[in-house]
A and B are shown apart, each in its own frame.
Chain A
């Protein structure tokens, strides 16, 4: 719990990793991948939180626990696995790796699973086995993952629908999606989130959390989220812009509040790219600059409480202590719709 100025914030870090990108576990693509992450880390994070590339590639369980719970203000953290076995032969950040840590610290972590529709029948059985073992409440999907000759997949295919049906049947309600730069066919816009629209319409009982807000396609994400009440925005990556580009972040959060409202925005650090400590502290202190408020409005304490933890707690049925739970009701999941109203 983060307490400041008489307010208590229940913090759920909705997007963390415990990866292994050490030299023994990567090929040239894996090396390119972790170096790209590292450039984000160096570029957007405050200097006092920067690690060496060696540590960044392979940090310890102690680092993770320290950065989350000892100093990071986090009450509960959600592991979002990313397998990437074509880049990291032993897996970059698998459900099993995450669960090995989570099992030692009951109540602290949620372990999400993953699936890949290109795995066909075997993949369905694997998802069932993963669920049996870890009682999944969510999955993280990475549509740009390479697999042999294939450079990705889409969520709006019959093959993907079979997996979503299985999720529904098993009670795995939270579908986190990350869009990356390579997907089939390569000559289309890989960041396009329209396939999420299709799936969200067909599976109204599932929640679709678009990680990184579909950036750099914020317009496509907002357009879909206004029309699909079960689409959420994950702030990982976007929130890190608070440090180097606070005005840009103010615009992003202001637009999100306008288009999808305060109940469908989920905090995530994307640890170990960034650390929750500074993100939480800075977000609680953050305000839309005065000269932008007439257009974008202001961030209230209640909005911050929801974004930093209460919204994710609802999706994952997490118990929130009473002293941190009280907030005024927001617009709920109602979408603004295709005819946006004027800003207040």
Chain B
């Protein structure tokens, strides 16, 4: 028998493509109901007007993740309280795709959008790792030489490896630890410049993630994890 915890575990593997964090950590899973082999999941977002493209991707990814569980027969995935809930839920349930949800309003660029944000997520993770190493006393020259295998098992490293694999970037232990988002190599000077820009990408991403958590908390009257963390 499938349990709600197993469903949540599957959903923890689904990330908000814009901010690269699991839906479960962001509080986007509003409820899971299991009845035998039938699963009913409700998702929610921080605002009524959250971008429909990212909303669609999350609903579609979440449905796929739960459907992949053994012993699950029927899944209903419902996005609540969004201006386009009806269109998104309908198109995801029938597998007709984003273009069917918004006929005439898209040009088939959803894969490019996902790819762009996967690269932004990769850039932000690298920025976090670089800054941590610099704080620990490493120099930029050393960072330009360091290999991926020498970074250890930090969660940011694990995520970097996953993102590299998804983007088709060499993720072997002896590949350079820090590369441009298209996979090309960086010397110390290039890395220095890249880090300046990467810090901005990270700031955008982390700021956005924080705001999303807070707005969700306000919208649904639940404790704000941002405030708890700051206290």
Contact = CB atoms under 8 A, between A and B. Distances in A.
A181 B50 CA distance: 6
B204 A186 contact: no
Contacts of B223: none
Interface stretch (B29-37, B157-165, B206-214): B206-214
B132 to A, nearest CB: 14
Nearest to B131: A295
A185 B50 contact: no
A39 B47 contact: yes
Q: Which of A36, A223, A241, A340 has the most CB atoms of chain B within a 10 A radius of its CB?
A: A36
B70 interface: no
B219 A39 contact: yes
B53 A188 contact: yes
A180 B102 contact: no
B108 interface: yes
B193 A340 contact: yes
Interface stretch (A13-21, A160-168, A212-220): A212-220
B214 A252 contact: no
Given A181-B49, A189-B113, A43 B105 contact: no
Interface in B127-174: none
Contact of A189 (B102, B116, B217, B218): B116
A306 B199 CA distance: 26
Given A181-B50, A218-B204, A251-B203, A187 B210 contact: no
Given A32-B49, A32-B83, A36-B47, A339 B193 contact: yes
A55 B207 CA distance: 29
Nearest to B106: A187
Given A185-B107, A252-B203, A342 B192 contact: yes
A184 interface: yes
Contacts of B211: 216
Q: Which of B49, B203, B204 has the most CB atoms of chain A within a 10 A radius of its CB?
A: B204
A39 B219 CA distance: 6
Interface in A26-58: 29, 32-33, 35-36, 39-40, 42-44
Interface residues of A, number: 41
Given A185-B106, A187-B98, A43 B215 contact: yes
A25 to B, nearest CB: 18
Given A244-B214, A340-B196, A219 B201 contact: yes
Interface string B105-123: 1111110110011000000
B104 interface: yes
B197 interface: yes
B204 A188 contact: no
Contacts of B46: 39
B226 interface: yes
A30 to B, nearest CB: 11
A188 B52 CA distance: 10
A7 to B, nearest CB: 30
Contact of B203 (A39, A185, A218): A218
Nearest to A39: B218
Contacts of B69: none
Interface in A182-196: 182, 184-191
A341 B119 CA distance: 24
Nearest to A220: B204
Nearest to A189: B113
A244 B206 CA distance: 15
Interface size class of B (residues with CB under 8 A): 35 or more
B51 interface: yes
B79 to A, nearest CB: 14
Contact of A187 (B53, B196, B201, B203): B53
A216 to B, nearest CB: 4
Contacts of A33: 48-49
Contact of B204 (A35, A39, A190, A216): A216
Given A39-B215, A190-B51, A218 B200 contact: yes
A182 B52 contact: yes
A186 B105 contact: yes
B227 interface: yes
A21 B5 CA distance: 42
A119 B199 CA distance: 40
A190 B107 CA distance: 14
A215 B204 contact: yes
A211 to B, nearest CB: 16
A181 B146 CA distance: 40
Interface in B39-64: 46-53
A222 B203 CA distance: 12
Nearest to B99: A187
21 contacts: A36-B49, A39-B219, A43-B215, A184-B105, A185-B105, A186-B53, A187-B98, A187-B107, A187-B108, A187-B109, A188-B107, A191-B51, A218-B203, A219-B197, A241-B207, A244-B227, A248-B210, A255-B200, A255-B203, A340-B193, A340-B197
Given A43-B217, A215-B207, A340-B193, 12 more contacts: A36-B47, A39-B46, A39-B215, A39-B219, A184-B105, A186-B52, A187-B110, A189-B117, A191-B51, A215-B204, A244-B226, A248-B203
Interface of B: 18, 46-53, 83, 98-99, 102, 104-110, 112-113, 116-117, 192-193, 196-197, 199-201, 203-208, 210-211, 214-215, 217-219, 224, 226-227, 230
